[in-house]
Structure formats: structure tokens, C-alpha cells
Amino acid sequence: MKSDAALHGEVTASHSVFGAPCWASLTTRDLQTVEDFYRAVLGWEWRTSSTMGDQYRVASVQQVPVAGISEVHFGVNTAVAWTPYFAVASADETVSRSQERGGTTAVGPLSFPPGRAALLADRDGAVFGIWEGELVAGWEEWRRAAPVFVRLHTRDAFDAAIFYGEVLEWASPAPGSCEVRYEDNEVVLRSRGDVVARIHSGAVGAAPDPTIRPHWQIHFTVDDVEAAARAARAARAHGGTAHQQGLGSTEAILTDPDGARFFVTARRTD
């Protein structure tokens, strides 16, 4: 989300791709440990954002931005999690639409030049962020490389699609709006013809296990199944854990040293 656009010679604003996922971000207690973990597991390289200061770091693979991490001092029992951000034309209007439809606002909107951000939760409690303004430097490369994919595990996919459709203006007549369809028992979101998110039912709202409750899942894509398996093995050696792995699988579920859960998914070639 945070632009160093002068380094790349191109700027994309959130209003031109509104409603689509535009970034993934993590807050952590120990920036250096988590940075080392993702470098070892996913091969990420790191740089400091010129607009967000020393405590916000941008990860990249082969000079393509992937995601951002910031250090925040939480309480010992506070859970950390990867959060998807969606591009919006107006953060204030989006927050108002969310609140009118039963969503809650955790943080913001706050100004982070060159834009504004807010952290929200839908009416089932799944947390997501919104961003208004210039997108991360190299965002067009981010989109083409598709290093991140998001999926909502929720109580009722249709109900969630209605909420997000109204809040993020999916399927609106405005140019650049996302398309929404029901395919293979999931709600599928497309932006400019590309699948950018999926929503599926089955979560239990009151479950004590946070992995069963409604939540957004962050998938980081890798080139092949073998790479996913290697990432799972590396996770155990660098302070994280692997919940699922195997050469016969298309993805592994990992947890970083600070407890943030994420997916490593084989990149599709079709």
C-alpha cells in the first residue's frame, strides 16, 4: 500500500481497481525474527518503506513486492494474523457502509501518506483492511505475478458476498469494478478477468478454535508443489510449524514464530 513510486516510474491509485485485494500486511512482536523466518521459508528480501519508517518493512521476491510487516508491541496473549487489504475509492464512505451493514471498525480511517487505511471486521468477525490512495510501488508487477491470493472462510458465503459486495462495491456499473460469480460451490471474485479472491461456507461463528471461526486466509504462491513442501520443512527449522505438507499436495499450512498462520500454495500454470 505504501508507495515508493518514484523508484518504479508508475503509480496506480486504489480508485482504479476498487474492491480488489491490493496488499497483505502483518503486525508482529519481533520484526527481526519474523523477517528471518520468511526469508528462510519463502526467500523474501526486505527493504524499509520510505513513507512508513523503520518499523514497516516491504518483502519482495525477484524485485516484485509481496507483502508488508510492521512491529507493534502487543500483550502476550494477543493473536497476530495476516490481513488482506482491499482498494477503495473512499475510506470514509467504505467504513460508513460497513457500519450500516453490521460490520465493526477496529482502527481508522487513519492517514498514512500517500493514502488512508482502516481495519474492519465483517458481521461474522472476519478481519480485513481497506486502503485509499496510491498502491504499493510496483503494484502492477504484484498483480501480474500474483504472489498473494486471499480466501474467506465464513459461515455463509452468500451472506458474506452480499456484505462485501455492498461495502466494497463489487459488481457495480463503475469501470474497474470486480465481478462476482458462484462457481464450484464458492463465490468467486474477479478483477480485470483474473480470479483474485474466493469465499466459501463452513465456518462456525462461535468456535473456540480461531481457524474454524470466520477469517480471511492468506495464500502465498510458490512455483510448484515441491517448493511448498520445502517451505514446510524449513518452517520447522526456523521457529514455525507446518500443519499440512507433502509432495502430493498443492499447499502447506504454516505458522510463523509469532503465531501468524498462512498458506503456501502452488502457483497455477493454466
Residues in the chain: 270
Q: Of 255, 267, 261, nearest to 227 (Cα)? A: 267
The full DSSP string for 177-225 is PPEEEEETTEEEEEETTEEEEEEEE---TT-SSTTTSSEEEEEEEESSH
Helix (H, G, I), strand (E, B) or coil at 140: helix
Quickly state the pLDDT bin for 5 (edges 50, 70, 90): very low
Q: Of 254, 10, 7, nearest to 144 (Cα)? A: 10
The pTM score is 0.86
For residues 108 and 119, give the distance between their C-alpha atoms in angstroms, rounded to a whole number: 7
Quickly state the pLDDT bin for 264 (edges 50, 70, 90): confident
**Contact in structure between 118 and 163 (CB atoms under 8 Å):** no
Looking at the predicted structure, is the pLDDT value of residue 203 above 90? no
**Contact in structure between 191 and 142 (CB atoms under 8 Å):** no
Average pLDDT over residues 98-113: 90
Between strands 186-191 and 251-255, the pairing is: unpaired
pLDDT tens, position by position, 63-87: 888 899 988 765 545 568 899 999 9
Task: Identify the top-confidence range among 27-41, 45-59, 140-154.
Answer: 27-41
Quickly state the pLDDT bin for 1 (edges 50, 70, 90): very low
pLDDT tens, position by position, 211-229: 788 999 999 887 765 666 6
Helix (H, G, I), strand (E, B) or coil at 138: coil
* pLDDT recorded at residue 96: 96
How large is the greatest C-alpha to C-alpha distance in the chain, in angstroms?
Answer: 50
**205 vs 179 pLDDT, higher one:** 179
* pLDDT recorded at residue 11: 54
